[in-house]
Amino acid sequence: MRPPQSEVSATALLQLWLGQHRQTAVFLDVDGTLLDIAETPGAVHVPPGLVDALAQLHRRLDGALALISGRPVEELDRLFHPLRLPASGAHGAYWRETGDSPLRRTGKDLPACVRVRLNALACANPGVLAEDKGSSFALHYRAVPERAPLLREALLALLDAPEGAGLRLLGGKRVYEIVVDGVDKAVAVRRLMATAAFAGRCPLFIGDDLTDHPALVLMSGLQGLGLSVGRTLPGASAVFADAAAVRTALITAAGGNHR
């Protein structure tokens, strides 16, 4: 019998669920959850032992472990090379069922006129980093946090314009992102839960940001478990202190040594 989740730490809950490996499916956000947030998306570091731990857990779960990220899937493959996992990228717009499956697409590209306006907005605000993902477009303002109100105002104005129809604004950790409607991390989880490796299992999702909120809230409806990182988010039953704590728990559960 499982103890009440409110009385158990995030690490203990993770270990409990991973101990029931034939019943559990694991979904992991990347930035802020597996990896420490860096000044730019390209500056993140994958610590030693993490790739081996994920590979070991993926085997133990018979393939029911996936990465659910705002990053493109191609970037996930580069970060965790040579490991290729089931994955969903760009907030659910792209996905693959297994590491060997072809990449599928569900979201449309942002209109060209929108991408031009977003690039122009980044150029008009030195220090803002533009990241064009096709079906979404991120403006990172970590280097110039004082620009946040101006960026938000400009992005809301864009959404109110005719070319903003069918788009929405996501806020993250020092980043704003324009995405197409109809995709999010809950959609990504539901899609993978319908595939062979994940079907019939209870999902466990770990995330750290508001973009993870839809997937965390989804967990209770699927008899699953949501865990957050750094702060309590809606849908989370317990909280890891930081990404390092998540890595330690995963590497320990996989039987490796944390460094």
Residue 62 annotated among the catalytic residues of the structure? no
Q: For residue 205, give both structure tokens.
A: 């999702």
The CA distances from residue 81 to 26, 74, 108, 208, 249, in Å, are 19, 10, 28, 23, 21
Q: For residue 179, give both structure tokens.
A: 């995405």
What order of strands is seen across the sheet that includes strand 167-172? 129-132, 136-140, 175-180, 167-172
Tell me which of 29, 31, 77, 184 is the catalytic residue.
29
CB contact at 8 A, 183 and 93 = yes
- Diameter of the chain by CA atoms? 58
Q: In angstroms, rounded to a whole number, what is the distance separating the alpha carbons of residues 40 and 15?
A: 32
Which residues are the active-site residues?
29
